Amino acid sequence: MTPEDFQNINKHYPQEIQEAVEQAHHSVKRKQKERKVRKQRKKLRRLKAFLRFILLVLLVAATYELLTLKGWYLPQNAFSKPDTELVSIINNKIVPTNLVYKQIKDIKVPKSPIFLMGVNPIKKELFKIPVFKNIYVRRYAFPARVDIILKERIPAAVIKTDLKAKPIAFVTTDGVLITNKNYMALSETKSAIKILVANPKIEKDWTVKRVEHIEKIVRTVEAYSSEKVHYIDMRNPNDVFVRIDSTNIRLGLLDSTVFDRIKRIYTILPQIDEVEGTIKYIDLSWDKVNYFKLQKTEQK
C-alpha cells in the first residue's frame, strides 16, 4: 500500500477506519521485522553449528596426528635388542645388566602409545630373578623410552670355599637363599658375613635357617669381643674357627654349648697383650677350659 493510498483513505474514510488501517500497517511492518530477525538468527545458528563441526574435525585430526607421532611409541625391538637409550637398567649391582636384558628380551612391545603400555609383563619377567626385591618402571615420551629401576636384596651372608674365591651362594637379609652363579660377582658387601666351607652341596647342606643360626653365632662373637668378625671358617664342621680383628678364635663344634663358650671371650681377650709370643688362636672349644694357642708352644 503506497502513501498515496493512505492519503486517499484519509480523504474518503472516517477517522476510526483510518486509525485501524494505520495499526494494521504498523503490525505488518513489525511482523516483517520479526521475520527478518528470525531468518538472521537461523542463519547465525547454522553458521555456528558449521563452525563447531569444522572445529571438531580439526581437533580430531590434530589428536590423531599427535597420537601417531613416533615419539609416543617404543620400537618393536626395544626389548629384544638392548639399547640403553630405549630401555635403561638402573641401580643393579649384583645382577649384571646383560642378564637383565636377557630376561626381558621376549617381551612384546604393544602397538599403543607409551603411556598406555602396561608394565606388569616387565615386572613379571624380572621377578623371576630372586635377587630383585622391588621393581619400578618409568615411561617417557619424545622420545619413547623406559627406565627400569631395580631394588636388589641385601646379602647378609656369603658362602665361599676360599677367601679369594667368588661366593657360591648367599643369603639375603630377608631370608632368601641365592645359588645362581651368575649373581655372585658383586654379592660381597662389607656387612655380609663370610662363611668358608669345603666342597658344599648347597641345595642339600645349606638352608636359610642354618645360615641364620651361624649369623647369630657371629653377632654374639662381635658383641662379646667388641670386634668385627671377618669370616667364620667351617671347612671342618667339627672344628670351627672365627677370625676377628685381633686374633683367631677356635669354637670347635657348634653344639648347644657354643653360646656359653662364646661369652667367655670378654674375660680372656684382654689377656692377649700379656702373653709372650705370637698367638695362633684363642681356644674356646672346651666346655670349661680356655687357653691361648701359640705358634710353637701352648700356654694355659
Q: What is the pLDDT of residues 172-186, one digit of tens each?
A: 988 898 988 888 877
CA separation for the pair 12, 18 (Å, rounded): 9
Question: Can you give the three-state secondary structure of 105-142, one letter per residue?
Answer: CCCCCCCCCHHHCCCHHHHHHHCCCCCEEEEEEEEECC
Mean pLDDT in the chain?
84
What string of DSSP letters covers 6-19? HHHHHHHS-HHHHH
pLDDT score of 300 more than 50: no
Q: Checking DSSP bridges between strand 87-90 and strand 145-152, what pairing results, if any?
A: parallel
Taking residues 204-225, report their average pLDDT.
89
pLDDT at 240 over 50: yes
Model pLDDT for residues 124-164, shown as the tens digit of each residue: 999 999 999 999 999 998 889 999 999 999 998 999 998 88
Task: Tell me the C-alpha distance between 101 and 88, whole Å.
Answer: 9
Q: At what angle do helices 3-12 and 15-67 cross, to 10 degrees?
A: 150
Q: What pLDDT does residue 299 have?
A: 45
What is the structure's pLDDT at 253? 93
- pLDDT greater than 60 at residue 3: no
CA torsion, points 89, 90, 92, 95, in degrees to nearest 10? 0
Helix (H, G, I), strand (E, B) or coil at 184: coil
| Model confidence band, residue 295 (pLDDT cutoffs 50, 70, 90) | low
Return the pLDDT at 150.
Answer: 96
The pLDDT score that the predictor gives to residue 298 is 47
Please enumerate in sequence order all residues whose Cβ is within 8 A of that of 98, keeping only pairs 6 or more positions apart, or say none. 82
Q: Long-range contacts of range 165-173, CB-CB < 8 Å, 24 or more positions apart?
A: 168/200, 168/202, 169/200, 169/202, 169/206, 171/208, 171/211, 171/212, 172/131
Q: Is 26 helix (H, G, I), strand (E, B) or coil?
A: helix
CA distance 85 to 104: 16
How far, in Å, CA of 188 to CA of 166, rounded? Answer: 9
The better pLDDT of the pair 37, 265 is held by 265
Q: Examine the pLDDT at 168 and tell me if it is beyond 60.
A: yes
Predicted confidence at residue 288, as pLDDT, reads: 75
Q: Greater confidence, 298 or 8?
A: 8
Q: Dig out the grid coordinates for 138 from the structure.
A: 618409568
The average pLDDT across 244-264 equals: 92
pLDDT value of position 11: 52
Give the cell for residue 56. 571438531
With 60 as the cut, is the pLDDT of residue 7 above it?
no
Please check the confidence at residue 19 and state whether its pLDDT lies above 60: yes
Which region among 11-15, 76-80, 255-259 has the lowest average model confidence (pLDDT)?
11-15
pLDDT at residue 9 above 60? no
